């Protein structure tokens, strides 16, 4: 989960060429899934709902074929350096570790205690927690996206490559997050589960558009950013739950955050390795992703009622301090330091311009925090179906 900055950030093209970066290929498609309000002339024919998306050129398979050899050559390295960040199933926590025990005679009393703790938590917090849970529940989309990346796909569903093993086991670990939050929210009685379930179905059906171009350079930069963002978001929901007196919920969110941190370490190590062996194309990829903006996994969120649901949810996350424009800038700055971007040498002219562009972004993004705060002062009351259409200040 993270704040949507797409509408807030527009970068001038003089810093970097507006033409496709070096990694791109001529394979370009126009994507347009804007739904129309116009009536179909065909009587009785029902058309499926398609959530609004931006119209843009989609580049596919932008990594040159010769780069595939890099990821093949890194198989052994990934086995030794990436798979170690996974935990054995028998040593992993499971959702039931944090929930009332249905086989226990005290089950109903445990549920009653959970409901009592949740009564002191405001609706706006539950909106953010629901948004986090829905994002986690769209996991099938994320595994699908990872398996579109050239050179690292799980081509058979049971591939023994290090990359395929990572994707499957990462998915299995992440799957517990949505399960746990979903069950907690169900037992709390504070939210409209049917509306939430509809939102999850809409979101998985809509997919996502991270603009990775089937390119693992772009893909691993995106996942590095996203894992850091979810670590921050879940950490802040843990802090707020503690402030509201629900220590069990705080523990739940904190445990999920610790998983996200482990995954962040793994993905950032992959990009660090790419900077080591191919610094020029890796900095071009980083600039590419940042120029397009990091679109958040749930940016196509819809509940059947609110066409701007993700923007409204993000606004509450910004106001509560769960995830903010400042966090977006801090993540980029953190990753630049982690990958030593400022001190890269031996770059091409285009690579040097990309380096300057990326290193200059954090202060520019931070200035958006002031704009976001100004918008917050002009907030309005919006009904959220997730909390039975009660109005929340966004």
Q: Is 276 an annotated catalytic residue?
A: no
Q: Is 350 an annotated catalytic residue?
A: no
Catalytic residue among 124, 150, 173, 174: 174
CA 247/CA 234 separation, integer angstroms:
14
Q: Is 227 an annotated catalytic residue?
A: yes
Three-class SS of 12-73: CCCCCCCCCCCCCCCCEEEECCCCCCCCCCCCCCCCCCCCCCCCEEEECCCCCHHHHHHHHH
Q: Is 144 an annotated catalytic residue?
A: no
Tokens for 198?
């509809």
Catalytic residue among 135, 141, 199, 230: 230
Q: Is 177 an annotated catalytic residue?
A: yes
Q: Is 166 an annotated catalytic residue?
A: no
Residues 6+ apart with CB under 8 A from 15: 353, 356, 357, 360
Catalytic residue among 6, 61, 77, 93: 93
Catalytic residue among 124, 170, 177, 303: 177
Catalytic residue among 85, 132, 135, 136: 136
Rg of the chain, C-alpha, whole Å: 22
Catalytic residue among 260, 303, 306, 327: 260
Q: Is 113 an annotated catalytic residue?
A: no
226 exposed, middle or buried (CB, 10 Å; 0-12, 13-18, 19+)?
buried
Q: Is 69 an annotated catalytic residue?
A: no
Q: Is 386 an annotated catalytic residue?
A: no
Residues recognised as catalytic = 93, 136, 174, 177, 227, 230, 259-260, 263
């Amino acid at each position: 989960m993270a704040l949507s900055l797409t509408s807030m950030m527009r970068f001038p093209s003089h810093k970097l060429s507006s033409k496709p970066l070096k990694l791109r290929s001529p394979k370009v498609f126009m994507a347009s899934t804007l739904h129309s309000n116009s009536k179909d002339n065909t009587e009785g024919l029902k058309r499926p709902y398609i959530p609004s998306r931006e119209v843009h050129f989609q580049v596919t398979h932008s990594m040159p074929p010769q780069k595939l050899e890099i990821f093949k050559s890194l198989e052994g390295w990934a086995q030794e350096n990436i798979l170690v960040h996974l935990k054995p199933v028998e040593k992993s926590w499971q959702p039931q570790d944090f929930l009332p025990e249905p086989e226990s005679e005290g089950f109903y009393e445990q549920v009653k205690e959970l409901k009592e703790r949740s009564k002191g938590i405001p609706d706006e917090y539950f909106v953010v927690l629901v948004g986090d849970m829905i994002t986690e529940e769209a996991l099938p989309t994320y595994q699908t996206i990872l398996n579109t990346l050239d050179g690292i796909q799980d081509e058979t569903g049971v591939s023994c490559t290090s990359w395929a093993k990572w994707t499957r086991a990462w998915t299995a670990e992440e799957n517990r997050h949505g399960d746990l939050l979903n069950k907690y929210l169900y037992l709390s009685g504070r939210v409209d589960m049917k509306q939430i379930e509809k939102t999850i179905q809409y979101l998985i059906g809509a997919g996502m558009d991270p603009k990775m171009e089937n390119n693992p350079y772009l893909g691993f930069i995106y996942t590095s950013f996203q894992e850091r963002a979810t670590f921050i978001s879940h950490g802040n929901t843990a802090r707020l739950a503690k402030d509201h007196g629900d220590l069990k919920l705080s523990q739940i969110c904190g445990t999920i955050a610790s998983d996200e941190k482990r995954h962040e370490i793994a993905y950032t190590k992959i990009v660090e390795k790419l900077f080591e062996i191919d610094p020029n194309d890796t900095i071009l990829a980083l600039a590419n992703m940042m120029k397009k903006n990091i679109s958040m996994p749930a940016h196509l969120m819809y509940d059947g009622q609110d066409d701007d649901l993700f923007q409204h949810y993000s606004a509450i996350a910004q106001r509560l301090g769960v995830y903010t424009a400042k966090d977006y800038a801090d993540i980029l700055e953190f990753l630049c330091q982690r990958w030593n971007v400022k001190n890269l040498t031996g770059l091409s002219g285009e690579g040097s311009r990309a380096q300057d562009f990326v290193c200059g972004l954090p202060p520019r993004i931070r200035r958006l925090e002031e704009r976001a705060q100004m918008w917050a002062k002009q907030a309005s009351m919006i009904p959220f179906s997730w909390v039975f259409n009660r109005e929340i200040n966004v």
